[in-house]
A = this chain, B = another copy of it.
Amino acid sequence: MIPRYSRPDMVKIWEPENRFRIWFEIEAHATDALAERGVVPASAAQALWKWWDTNPAIDVAAIDAIEAVTKHDVIAFLTWVAEQVGDEARFMHQGMTSSDVLDTCLAVQLTQATDLLLADMDALLAAIKTRAMEHKFTPTIGRSHGIHAEPVTFGMKLAQAYAEFARGRERLVAARAEIATCAISGAVGTFANIDPGVEAHVAAKLGLAIEPVSTQVIPRDRHAMYFATLGVIASSIERLATEVRHLQRTEVLEAEEYFSPGQKGSSAMPHKRNPVLTENLTGLARMVRGYVTPALENVALWHERDISHSSVERYIGPDATITLDFALGRLTGVIDKLLIYPERMQKNLDRMGGLVHSQRVLLALTQAGISREDSYRIVQRNAMKVWESDGAESLMELLKADADVSAKMSAEEIEDRFNLDYHFKHIDTIFERVFG
């Protein structure tokens, strides 16, 4: 966890206090279920909840001090609770193993984290949508291979991003379901010393599904799928960040990360306004992706479990969710305040003297009865002049002045082939598909 790439709500989920609170709830709900089955006295469960109702502070330092002696975190916690609650607390944890608590707690933490991430994605989607609508018909050049191809609109670029993050959101919902399970099944998953009904009760109370069959632990293919999904979302962040970085290049400058009017880009160079936020997002995406492989390697635990996954999860549980949360928030801010320059987009569109329309003229000449070969030759000889002039010449004007063209097409007809709107006639359809 790197403080500068962290936001407090997500950090809180991974702090000891939250973990202890979840542990308590698991234990107390389990005690309820045990009491209902007559395994422990009803008073035991009542005592726990009565204390909890006082909204007690969790004394993390005290628990740590006990752990320093017992060398066991769950026992340390239970001991501390017993000190607070009194004798009735001794019925807690009956028939359970530490992993029942730890793994179910991780499930709760990951669902909490995912709920924040889902809210992040909603905010991002809203920001993208607003800007997409704003620039639905702002013309800009579409580029393949970094080379001008044909016109698109800036809104369409954002619609693509919207559709991609909407898919990401759906994937995240599925990933949440993957890890939202509760296992309270004992030392090797047989329920030898605890009734499966306890698991069902705790699961229901915590908003989790039951784990159909566990070993000592919840199977780690679930978590692998979860972290792989975060890696895909991070890659989508990188894609949009890379787009902004490209657009902000000095030579392109069609959009820029926000800077306040009085802000200095550089103390020495007034032209310096760097896309540092999106470059940062590119790096953060690498990190979130980097956590995928350790998560995949965690799947093949030995027999009913080994504990090699645990250290990995102590890193990537917080790191992947905190980093992604921060990155989604940062990207939302970038999009929300993105400086968009339609004039520059138009200027870039025009910079090749109308060459982006050459294909349409070619087709028009063909339809006007000139053979395809001749049409190509005619257009090309004019296009080459434009190309060689580095866009100083205008293809439209040259075509008007070309006798072979003017013999077949009026000036108006030629101009019509340079109409950007031709390219945008299906933008409504596309927006309908994406935004409904």
Interface of A toward B, CB cutoff 8 Å: 1-2, 4-5, 141-152, 156, 159-160, 163-164, 167-168, 171, 174, 178, 186-192, 196, 210, 212-216, 219, 221-222, 224-225, 228-229, 231-232, 235-236, 238-239, 241-243, 245-246, 248-252, 267-276, 279-280, 282-287, 289-294, 296-312, 314-316, 319, 348, 351-352, 355-356, 358-359, 362, 376, 380, 383-384, 387, 422-427, 429-430, 433-434
Contacts and interface: CB of A to CB of B under 8 A. Distances in A.
B250 A147 contact: yes
The 6 closest A-B pairs by CB, nearest first: A142-B188, A283-B311, A145-B274, A235-B299, A143-B303, A282-B308
Number of copies: 4
A146 B314 contact: no
30 contacts: A142-B304, A143-B250, A144-B187, A144-B274, A145-B274, A145-B279, A146-B274, A147-B274, A149-B304, A167-B221, A167-B225, A190-B426, A191-B426, A191-B430, A224-B235, A228-B228, A231-B292, A235-B297, A239-B301, A246-B302, A249-B249, A269-B358, A271-B383, A282-B306, A283-B312, A285-B300, A286-B293, A287-B311, A289-B293, A290-B290
Nearest to A427: B190
Contacts of A287: 294, 311-312, 315-316
A contacts with B: majority SS: helix
Nearest to A292: B292
A294 B289 contact: yes
Contact of A434 (B212, B229, B279): B212
Contacts of A160: 189, 213-215, 219
Given A148-B250, A171-B225, A249-B251, A356 B303 contact: no
A280 to B, nearest CB: 5
A303 B146 contact: yes
Contacts of A282: 300, 306, 308
Contact of A232 (B224, B279, B380): B224
